[in-house]
Each structure stands twice: as C-alpha cells, then as structure tokens.
Structure 1
C-alpha cells in the first residue's frame, strides 16, 4: 500500500509539481531554512515554488525586480553554485536592500537553463543564520538544476506534441478544421483550447470545424472541456461546427450531445462543409495517347 501511494506522489503532471518534489528532496539532504525555485524574464524575479522549515523567509508567488534579488547574482555567476556565507558582509550582497532582512545569513544559488542555454531562473537556498554547505551539498544543488532542465524540456516537448496532435487546418479564408485525434486527457484538452484561441486571435475566423471522429476515449471532464471550447468560440464570434461524434461518446457522456443544442453537428467533414456552402467536386480527365 505504501509503495502505491509513493508511486502516485511521483506521477507529476507538470513542471510545478516536479519542482515542489525536488525541493522536498533537497530539504531532506540540506538543513538550510528556505529552499526555492525562481523564474525570471530578465526583468522580474518570480518565486514559483518555496519550502520554508522554521521561518518563512521566502514567500511563494512573490516577485521583485531581478537586479534587486540574490538570484541575479547566481545567474551572473554562471552554472556553478554561488555560495555567499554571510550576506551582510559579502561585497556582492551587503549593499543590496534585501540583505538587511537576513542578518548574517547564507545564500546559495544555481541557475536553471533550457537546453539552448537560455536562463529559466534559479534554484536557491537561504537562511538568516550562517549555514555551512559541504561540497556534496553544492553538487546536489547543481544536479537538481540539471534535473529541472530535463523536466522543463519534457514539458516543452509534451506541449508541442499535444499541439501537433490537434492541428488547425485552414480550408479557406475564415474557415478551418481542428481534427482531434487519440486519447483526450484534461491537460491535453486545455492545450487544445489554448492553441485554438491563440490561432483565432491572430487570424480572422468565421467557422471552426471540430472533428472528434478520431477520439479514442472520452469522459465527463473531457466533455466539459470540449463544451468550454464551443462556448468560448461563440463568445469571440467564431461559429463552432462539431463533426464525428461517435455513439460511445453519447453513451459515456450522455449530457454532451444535449449540451450542444443549437450548435451545428454533422456526421462527417464532407456534410459539414456542404452545410457551410462548400461543394466537393471530383474532376476526372481521360487522356488519350497522341500518336
């Protein structure tokens, strides 16, 4: 039973969950008061995950200008761990406004990169008391930074795959098709919604045909996401058209079809295009051999 629970806890659905788990691992090996992961855009430093033991030195969700943060020093230092044993005395930190909040405390930070070398942010430790870090602990910080890079790239690749499995195919000006293929999960459904809305915001769209004939499984949660997409399209002035609803969908999510009342529903793409005024013509030409 304990093994099953552990496996569930390690089944991460996104970067935030993996980041929280990495901080928990670090806290078991390193006794520094606060551990945190920050993301920055070159201007602002945002604390996305924080773990405090005795004192709440770092607030999750807080932000400050990047140049005013200790994280900026870590980024400038490079891929190796930056250790400042006494932030009140070190020449890098003593003139910084935030140093006064941590007395003679210790800071350690390692940048987190994407594979292309772009900085994502930092993984750091902070205490308001002196804390001695061993070489092994510094190495652990650096390894966790590498692990976060790996997780970031996995999330990026997964997002790209999810988007590619629901491409927006233009038919003509103002009309496009979204063929949804495979198993739909709640995270994937959310990616599809974001992808569609981004496309609609950049290109004028009158009709969007959502073809679900390639969907393998559906449940109540996924049905709600598809309904959400339909309603959002209506709000932004795009007429949704649904094609390919399979019998198993109506059985498994009985309210799905009922909730689509007033939405144009067709059996397949051909009939949907005909309803929109398109005629498919197959042109055959016989060529005789010229002798």
Structure 2
C-alpha cells in the first residue's frame, strides 16, 4: 500500500466527458458563491434541459428536468448574448416578474451566462438560482464568466477527442453490402462503446451483409479484448450482419483461446484482409472489384 504524504501535491483528477467535468465545476463553484442552486442547462432553442445541477439546501431544480425554452430564465440569458445576466430580485425585474417560473418560486434571484462552442453556436447556459433575493458581487460575476469560457474549452476538447476516436476506427465501404472496420490503437472502455455503436449504426445504415473487422492495428492485448470482440460479433449477428475477423496476431489468438469464446466457432476468420475478402467472394482486378456470389 502506498501512503500519501500530506506534503505531496494533490493528485490530478481526470474527467471522462463534459458532463463529468460540469458536475465537478458546480461543486467547486458552490464553495465561492452561496446561492442555493447552481446548474448547467442545454437547449436547442425549443427545449431547455437541466444537464447538471447542484442544490445546497432546497431542491429547486432536478437533473434531467425540461421546460419549453421560451418559458425559462435561460432564454433571457441567451438573448443577452455573451454579457452576463444578473437579476438580484426576479419579482422586480421587468422581464421575469410575470413569468410562470417566478410565480412557482415565489420570488428570488438569478444569474446566468451562455456557454458557446468555439464556432459561436450556443450550447446552453451556466446559471445560479435562489428563491430569495441574493446580492451578487463582482467576484461572482467574474466567476461565472470565467467558468463559461472554461466550459467552452472543455466542449471543444470533447469534440476533438470524439473525432480522434472515430478516425481511429473508421467504417470503410468496399462495395455494396461490404465494409471494413480497421481498429487501431488501444481498446479502452470508452473506445469500445464508441466503436460498437458506430459499427452497429453503420451496418444498419449501409445495409451491410459483411463487416470485415481488421484487428492488426491493435497496439496492446489486454483482458478486455476478448470480451470486446465477442460482444461486437454477437451484436452484429443479431442485426443480420456477418462479422469477418482478420489480422489476429498470435498474442491475440492466445487471449481468445484462453477465454474459450464459443461465438468464434462458426466465424469467418482469416490471417489477412485480402484472404478475408476473397473468402466472402470479393476479388480485385486492376480495373475493377468483382463480387462472386
């Protein structure tokens, strides 16, 4: 067991995605502004959805709750543009005094600022809400403004990571009904979920009879590899797509053998991509691709 010295620097926390980061951001903000409810909402200009919420005392909002966008304080914040909206008393503010939300709260205060993607498109808002008047300071305004910019950066990182994940396992169409899925890099739980979802959706959208999964680009063989292959094979078979495996190295073959995966008994497995394509009746000539049924 490794003992941590009190003088050691704090361990860095990693976040899985935007939602994970957002939850921790709200908890951190609650230490600096003692307004009852802090929340992040996402909107499509039609519906406002509470993505993450942190209630200190009373539960004023719940995660996942939705309202028509036009009936929310968030809409007023988005209308304000990049300038923060501060309302110390919602019963005295012209635009909120007659709103249903104000009536339900019975009074209170609001602060909000939009969260944007890098291209300027609005994601939603980060806000503070209370059912009693609250005195906002310049420090509070600076806090919300800074966190809004930080979350824009987190959104861009998440989008960039998703693009990288997709590029490392692209679905490559070969001819009608046949495509190749080359898997490159390490298989983490996150990548497993992305690759599986992409394989299933693409197989259905492209009406694939065969999906050739090339495993030669996998960097490291670990305990989850066999389960990953078995699961994706089973799911493809369930939707009517025949999986074909190729590029299985000796170390991967040993791992699969150790697991005694029954799904592999009747599976098409070839050492190379060329042999796999020929096995399903696909032949290449210098001028064209020929499919032999």
Q: TM-score, normalised by structure 1?
A: 0.90
The CA RMSD measured in Å over matched residues stands at: 2.0
Distance in 2 separating the partners of 1:159 and 1:3: 37
Distance in 2 separating the partners of 1:232 and 1:262: 15
- The equivalent residue for 1:289 is none
Distance in 2 separating the partners of 1:259 and 1:220: 17
Q: How many residues align?
A: 282
Distance in 2 separating the partners of 1:265 and 1:213: 13
- The equivalent residue for 1:274 is 278
Correspondences of 1:54-203 after superposition (within 5 Å): 54-203=57-206
Task: Report the CA distance between 1:218 and its aligned residue.
Answer: 3.5
Cα displacement string for residues 126-172 of structure 1 (whole angstroms, at most 9, x for unaligned residues):
01111111112111101101111111111111101110111112221
Distance in 2 separating the partners of 1:3 and 1:88: 50
Point out the structure with the larger helix share: 1
Greater alpha carbon shift after TM alignment, 38-47 vs 196-205: 196-205
Q: TM-score, normalised by structure 2?
A: 0.90
Task: Report the CA distance between 1:58 and its aligned residue.
Answer: 1.1
- The equivalent residue for 1:287 is none
Correspondences of 1:48-59 after superposition (within 5 Å): 48-59=51-62
Cα displacement string for residues 80-117 of structure 1 (whole angstroms, at most 9, x for unaligned residues):
21011111221111111111232331100110000111
Task: Report the CA distance between 1:234 and its aligned residue.
Answer: 1.2
- The equivalent residue for 2:290 is none
> Partner of 2:282: helix, strand, or coil?
coil
